[in-house]
Amino acid sequence: MAAGDVRISPGYNWIESAEVITNGTTSVTAFKIPKGTVVEHALLISKVAGTGAANITVGDADDPDGFIEAADHTSAAGTVFGDAIAELGVYLKKATGATSGFAIAPTYYAADASCLVVLSAAGTTQGTWIVVLKGYRITPHA
């Protein structure tokens, strides 16, 4: 390509979800995030509450709470995290500590990654959660 040339990269919506049973402080891989994915939003939905004092986070290997910072492991079934900006991790905020306004900032993955779910403490009874990441994929040119 020469200066001023344009090549169109096809893109499409991307959404991935998984049901995850926590495993104490050992991270659980919910699913893969493919190369070329832009993650715009994350949700964590309680299906079966766990017991014991612990927070649950969603992120990747570089930042285990990059998508969802700290959801209460004992939350009742149907409780949703990620529906308020204050619950989102740094991957999805324009500014650290942002709690309101238009603070959403998408994250681009230049290489394959894994979406991880992990507890801050072992928990007495493991909980069951639905993890959802939403965004879009682009097909980069070689």
Report pTM. 0.85
Classify residue 7: in a domain, yes or no: no
Domain count, the chain: 1
Sign of CA dihedral 64, 65, 66, 72: positive
Alpha-carbon gap, residue 37 to 138, rounded angstroms? 7
The domain in which residue 104 lies consists of 14-138
pLDDT tens digit string along 114-127?
999 988 887 678 99
Classify residue 8: in a domain, yes or no: no
The CATH code of the domain that includes 102 is 2.60.120
Classify residue 84: in a domain, yes or no: yes
Classify residue 92: in a domain, yes or no: yes
pLDDT tens digit string along 77-133?
999 999 888 888 888 876 655 555 545 667 888 899 999 998 888 767 899 999 999
Alpha-carbon Rg for the chain, nearest whole angstrom, is 16
